[in-house]
Amino acid sequence: MGSRKPVFLPAFALCLVLLCVGGASANGVFRVKSKFAGLGSQIAELRAHDVSRHGRMLGDVDLPLGGIGRATAAGLYYTEIWLGNPSKKYYVQVDTGSDQLWVNCVQCQGCPKKSGLGLELTLYDPSGSSSGSLVSCRDDFCSTLYRGHLSSCTPALPCQYYLQYGDGSTSMGYFIKDFLQYNQVIGNLQTRSVNASVVFGCSVRQTGQLDDTRQALDGIIGFGQSDSSVISQLASAGEVDKMFAHCLDGINGGGIFAIGQVVYPHVKTTPMVANESHYNVYMKGIDVGGVMLQLPSGVADSGAAAQDRMGAIIDSGTTLAYIPEDIYSPLMNAIRSNGPRVEYFTVQGSSCFQFTGSVNDSFPYVTFYFENSVSMKVYPHQYLYRLGEFEWCIGFQTSGSQSKDAKLWAVFGDLVLANRLVFYDLENQAIGWTDYDCSTSIKVKDSKTGAVYSVGAHNISLACNLDSLRSPLILFLIIILHLIL
């Protein structure tokens, strides 16, 4: 649901929400659940989500989407957040592909009042919180967002926003400053609840797919790089290290999401592409079953101009993996020629086949290579999905033919990110990953004291009873905020 970059107009500004955040404290925990957990095989809905999403987030990159995706519970994760005083619960989608954080406001026209996910939606009421206050258009936050003071600003005018997405959906509203709760990690599998004031957006009007009740949530929490994102706000306030990681469990639909320094498992990183709005990295090559693909000339050359190089956007808010046509065609040909002799047929744009054996033993793995000798190996059980009892489809999607001036950017969503710890080091502008069992714990380090704590899984059904960190992971993931003391 995130946009690559919102459209800001003088009368409006961007809707922003934060997770449960506290004052100067150590580590924090949030519980997050897969939006598609328990929904069964809804391939069309996953594909429709990605088509809509990329129409919004990739406005200056030519990525027309096609095909279908793997039906899995490992996509579109959301978390509970608690805002205001007294605090109230909101469900927001966790998204590394967008910057903005916002929730629906009590004055909202067109906002969904119910959700097909079985969640109870809540509208934020500024007058119902004793700690909430409007953010003025003269506030430094608003000036930074608009890159200067607004000529039409008066003391009584709030900092407003207008968002228009590529699919025609719109959202508009104004900014609020209020308390956000989070659970500070104080020891191995131990937390305490704390608060902090944060700026977030209050949506008062929505149109298009944003008011669709089938998979409605209260808002979105973005973990992008801009100054308005969650990670940037917390880091600029001195409350977090500007780094985070997620580990999405593609089997159980859960995992871990952590802000701060993860010391175990160890992750080797590759540089992020400079001056990009998303988490972009350059690719140096692709092999299928150990054989390197013949790619278009120059796209993997580190000496080539940036606009001519091949790369990937790392985006947990996308469910599938989309490959530009110039790369997709040789990739698919290599998978077919290195796999068993089967007859392929097309289902909604995807290559499918009948097979009764072990796909892991019979189909090749695919390895993507990046700068700094970093690679990502995708096994057959990750890129193949079951269509029927003996029918399978290849889950890589074509993003369509590129226009002459478009960059060769792939989009890596949960199809390839699941079952890996992915680490985003914004302080050093690097990203890395490693295969990992996302149903187990990780270790985070307090940057001031040097203490290392184990953080395990949580069950979101405990309804924000965050003191029990020993519950088994079933369909849920947690977010750990690593805060600087």
Task: Kindly tell me if the per-residue pLDDT of 8 is higher than 70.
Answer: no
Count of Cβ atoms closer than 10 Å to residue 467 Cβ: 12
Predicted TM-score (pTM) of this structure: 0.79
Q: Annotated active-site positions, please? A: 95, 315
**DSSP type of residue 296:** P
Looking from the CA of 146 toward its CB, the CA atoms found within 13 Å total: 23
Q: What's the whole-number mean pLDDT along residues 102-120?
A: 88
pLDDT, residue 113, reads: 87
What is d(CA 141, CA 158) in angstroms, rounded to the nearest whole number?
11
Burial class (CB in 10 A: 0-12, 13-18, 19+), 197: middle
Structural domains present in the chain:
27-38+73-263+438-482 (2.40.70.10), 269-421 (2.40.70.10)
Q: What's the whole-number mean pLDDT along residues 194-219?
A: 84
- What SS3 state is found at 356? coil
Peptide bond between residue 86 and the one before it cis (omega within 30 degrees of 0): yes
What is d(CA 119, CA 117) in angstroms, rounded to the nearest whole number?
6
What is d(CA 182, CA 173) in angstroms, rounded to the nearest whole number?
25
What is d(CA 449, CA 66) in angstroms, rounded to the nearest whole number?
50
Greater confidence (105 vs 440) lies with: 105
Lowest mean pLDDT among 17-26, 167-176, 285-294, 440-449: 17-26
pLDDT, residue 44, reads: 58
**Residue in the structure block whose two tokens are 């903005």:** 100
Task: Kindly tell me if the per-residue pLDDT of 153 is higher than 80.
Answer: yes
Q: What's the whole-number mean pLDDT along residues 359-384?
A: 94
Is residue 161 a contact partner of residue 206, using CB atoms and an 8 Å limit? Answer: no
Greater confidence (391 vs 148) lies with: 391
Task: Kindly tell me if the per-residue pLDDT of 359 is higher than 60.
Answer: yes
Phi and psi torsions of 189, nearest 5°: 60, 35
**DSSP type of residue 240:** B
pLDDT, residue 22, reads: 32
Categorize the per-residue pLDDT at 186 as very low, low, confident or very high, splitting at 50, 70 and 90: confident
Phi and psi torsions of 80, nearest 5°: -85, 135
